[in-house]
Amino acid sequence: MKPTIAFLMISLLLLSCKTEKKSFTSFDQYPSPTEENLWLNYTKEFSDFKLWSPTADEVLLNLYDNGTDGLPIARYELTRFREGVWSTRVLGDLHGTYYTFQILIDGEWSEETPGIYAQAVGVNGERAMVLDLKSTDPNGWESDQSPILRHPNEAIIYELHIRDMTIHSQSGSSLPGKYLGLVEEGTKGPEGLTTGIDHLKELGITHVHLLPTFDHYSIDETKLDSAQFNWGYDPQNYNVPEGSFASDPYRAEVRIKEFKQMVKSLHDQGIGVILDVVYNHTGRTAESNFNQEVPGYYYRQWEDGSLADAAACGNETASERPMMRKFILESVAYWTREYHLDGFRFDLMGIHDIDLMNEVSKKVKEVNPNAFVYGEGWTAKDSPYPADKRALKKNTVQMPQITAFSDDLRDGLKGSVFEDSSTGFVSGGEDMEESIKFGIVGAIAHPQVAYQEVNYSDAPWTNNPWQTISYVSCHDNHTLYDKLKVSRKDAGEREIIAMAKLANAIVLTSQGTPFLHAGVEMLRTKNGEHNSYNLPDSINQIDWYRKKQYSEVFDYHKNLIALRKAHPAFRMSTGELVRSNLEFQKTEDSFISYLMETNGTQDPWKKILVAYNARTTPVNYRLDGRWQVAVIGDTFDFDGSAIATGSISVPAISMLVCFQK
């Protein structure tokens, strides 16, 4: 129930010990109450509101009937107590009441802000809401189970944007572009082929990676009938799901309920959920919620006081400062606990510091031991933070539970993402073999890899193979199909298809953690666009006609995934196992082969021979002994009915897998 007007004029203090505002000459002097609980504390009897702002002169709490308009129904002054923390307690059951803070600093009032710890917001994220979070749990939430994962390379990650998966007119979804549309069962596309979650089940992936799905600035949630699209890398409210994917963005509880139902439905099908997070920068700077509360503190600056911008988005956050570190750690723990998430992908992870990322992994695993953390081990621009302390790819060895993207393998396979004409191993590029071998072993130290010939790394950068994300394409830059088309304009369609299949054959038989861009299994195209972050649905949508058009490519990927799942030798858990079991046999121009013993892997096959032929002609490959053929060209036969002895012809632009029991 709502409190009475008379009562709403009374603000109760949590602590009676007021403190005075202090002056500071640097951010290092700011108090750091890292143990203080700054999240809203809701009960049916009262709600506690807190905010950290050591430079504030006053802090106000405004209560509203709704999340969009109208004057406050009540206003409270918060009281400063220790270490720059302000608080007030409001009696009564405030469930469903919206609120904002305003902060007075040096004679100027901030814009109204929902606060950086907001857990529920109204339309466009401008006002927070007091909410009993238990009321948003779907049926069976308490018994919800995450997929069991001993090592990250047991996962097969599928990176998707929620809107892209179901917005096409032939997706068969009754809720296109929505959380619940993604998990709607029984949807059919052209000629009755599965779409949505049934497509994911049929393909066999183990985890979905959701492009940023926290509340972001770009989409105007009051105008969802108009054409709008954005990937979401412009954070507004970090601890709240994005409203444009909900059936009703005006009611703060709806997006939370539907996000949880999406997670539960994916878990029910054995699919984990990974959230792409963007703690490295905020979508705005001066107007951001962080800056409204403590101007400048949460961002890095150069020595001259100007904003650092390693994200190339206007700012970069200062993860090394105690209260920023506290926020990130508590935020990932909150998402893991409240939304049952199974992992996080850190955008531009190289902006953050090594210690933070180690703490993130520890914090996440304390809540969900099956969860894992990975990220981009680079920055977009330079940073004032020392490179030897950053969570860069080359420093992954100092982050034993963190996985990083391997651009070495990505560009080794298809050519540089920044040069349209650049080609890679599968598309006729020269001198890419060592980069591919480096990717095959998961960037570990291996005696047969010539590191001086690897495209971007001159030394191993992982301890164990699962610390690399093995991939050839993602949301950034061209799709795989578009990249192959633009870099090999002389190649025919059949040759392009063969290149695409071989690229992900290498990804899915490498020792790292495999990662697929949504739609790659049906040769997704964005009509040649490089950067589609704000382009229309016509560019970004999954075109379900292509599933039928390129059914052989879909079947090939489905079989690759089945192969990897059935044979743990393709996902060894330690660097020592890889070094002991994997031996390269032949490395020549556009051809690589290796032999795997399967000791210590519990693989049903005793020995596995793998060959990648990127040549445009078959290769007659000499064999020692008698082998059963599991994969040759487009043929998959896990029983190995065909026997090869002496030699075998490896078809042009294809993979061969043979085994001995």
In the chain, what percentage of residues exceed pLDDT 70?
97
Whole-angstrom Cα distance, residue 87 to residue 14? 7
The one catalytic residue among 221, 347, 408, 521: 347
93-142: pLDDT as tens digits:
999 999 999 999 999 999 999 999 999 999 999 999 999 999 999 999 99
Mean pLDDT, range 501-518, rounded to an integer? 98
- Residue-level pLDDT at 550: 98
Q: In the structure, what pLDDT confidence band is assigned to residue 15 with cuts at 50, 70 and 90?
A: very low
Question: What 3-state class would DSSP assign to 626?
Answer: strand
Q: What is the pLDDT of residues 563-601, one digit of tens each?
A: 999 999 999 999 999 999 999 999 999 999 999 999 999
The answer to whether 347 is a known catalytic residue is yes
Contact yes or no for 47/12 (Cβ under 8 A): no
Question: How large is the average pLDDT for residues 157-172?
Answer: 98
Q: Which residues contact 647 (CB under 8 A, 6 or more apart)?
A: 620, 621, 622, 623
Give tens-digit pLDDT for 229-273. Answer: 999 999 999 999 999 999 999 999 999 999 999 999 999 999 999
What DSSP designation does 351 have? G
What would the mean pLDDT of 382-398 be, rounded to a whole number? 98
Q: Whole-angstrom Cα distance, residue 50 to residue 103? A: 12
Whole-number CA gyration radius for the chain: 26
125: phi then psi, degrees, rounded to nearest 5:
70, 25
Per-residue pLDDT band for 18 (boundaries 50, 70, 90) equals low
**Model confidence pLDDT, tens digit, residues 607-632:** 999 999 999 999 999 999 999 999 99
Task: Give per-residue pLDDT as tens, 20-66.
Answer: 677 788 999 999 999 999 999 999 999 999 999 999 999 999 999 99
Half-sphere exposure (CA, 13 Å, Cβ side) for 425? 36
pLDDT at residue 363 tops 60: yes
Q: Where are the domains of the chain?
A: 5-112, 581-660
**Cα dihedral sign for 508, 513, 517, 518?**
positive
Calculate ∠ Cα 624-629-633, nearest 5°: 115
Mean pLDDT (whole number) for 324-332: 98
Does the domain at residues 581-660 carry the CATH identifier 2.60.40.1180?
yes
pLDDT at 19: 62
User: Which of these, 410, 404, 457, lies nearest to 436 by C-alpha position?
Assistant: 410
pTM beyond 0.85, yes or no: yes
Q: Is pLDDT at 12 greater than 50 in this prediction? A: no
Q: In this model, does residue 11 exceed pLDDT 70?
A: no
pLDDT of residue 8: 38
End-to-end Cα distance, the chain: 69
pLDDT for position 20: 66
CA 239/CA 117 separation, integer angstroms: 7
Does the pLDDT at position 166 exceed 60? yes
H or E segment at 660? strand 654-660
Q: For residue 13, what pLDDT is reported?
A: 36
CA distance to 74, 98, 126, 367, per residue, from 71 (Å): 9, 11, 14, 40
Predicted confidence at residue 24, as pLDDT, reads 84
Q: Which residue out of 164, 276, 376, 603 is catalytically annotated?
A: 376
DSSP 138: P
Architecture per CATH, 5-112: Sandwich (2.60)
On the question of pLDDT at 370 being above 80, the answer is yes
CB atoms near residue 9 (< 10 Å): 11
Q: Could you give the C-alpha distances from 464 to 1, 303, 451, 460, 500, in angstroms and in order? A: 55, 38, 17, 10, 27
Per-residue pLDDT, 73: 98
376 is annotated as an active-site residue? yes
pLDDT at res. 22: 74
- Average pLDDT over the chain reads 96
SS (H, E, C) 272-313: EEEEEECCCCCCCCCCCHHHHHCCCCCECECCCCCECCCCCC
**CB 402 within 8 Å of CB 466:** no
Question: How far apart are the C-alpha atoms of 175 and 319, rounded to whole Å?
Answer: 38
* 28 SS3 class: helix
Q: Residues 193, 548: contact at Cβ < 8 Å?
A: yes
